[in-house]
Amino acid sequence: MTVFTSPSAPTHDLGDTRFTSLATPSRGSSDTAVWLVELDPGVAAPPHSLTKEEIFVVLEGRAEVTQEGAVSSAGPSDAIVVPAGEDFAVRNPGAVPLRMLCCLPAGGQARLADGSLLTPPWSL
């Protein structure tokens, strides 16, 4: 068993969104990448899909999730499962930060709206 201590600050900032790598291949995990993501109030992540299934667990706040055109809401302790290849977007509709724990198999990539692939640097 290995314990990875959480970094004291986010490892990546993208505007009003912060990512903190917790267990990733560069930190010693082999099969799964896990990170915290925090979206400020009103912030929406750009629509995209993934090459592997991703799971989000809401820790604080509310998430508005659009998957394949259907909109749903998730709150603390709710899990959001995004199958590989399915278009989705997450937005923070609330007045407080949205904090989620995210899990993605190592090597998973995001397919952006323009078709390009992005390996999230917080998952490496």
> Domain spans of the chain?
12-108
Dist CA 76 CA 63 (whole Å)? 9
Dist CA 52 CA 26 (whole Å)? 19
pTM, entire model:
0.92
* Non-local CB neighbours of 14 within 8 Å, separated by 6+ positions: none
Phi-psi region of 16 (alpha: psi -120 to 50; beta: other; left: phi over 0): alpha
Cα dihedral 13, 18, 24, 27 in deg (nearest 10):
60
CATH number of 12-108: 2.60.120.10
pLDDT tens string 76-104: 999 999 999 999 999 999 999 999 999 99
pLDDT tens string 13-51: 988 999 999 999 999 999 999 999 999 999 999 899 999
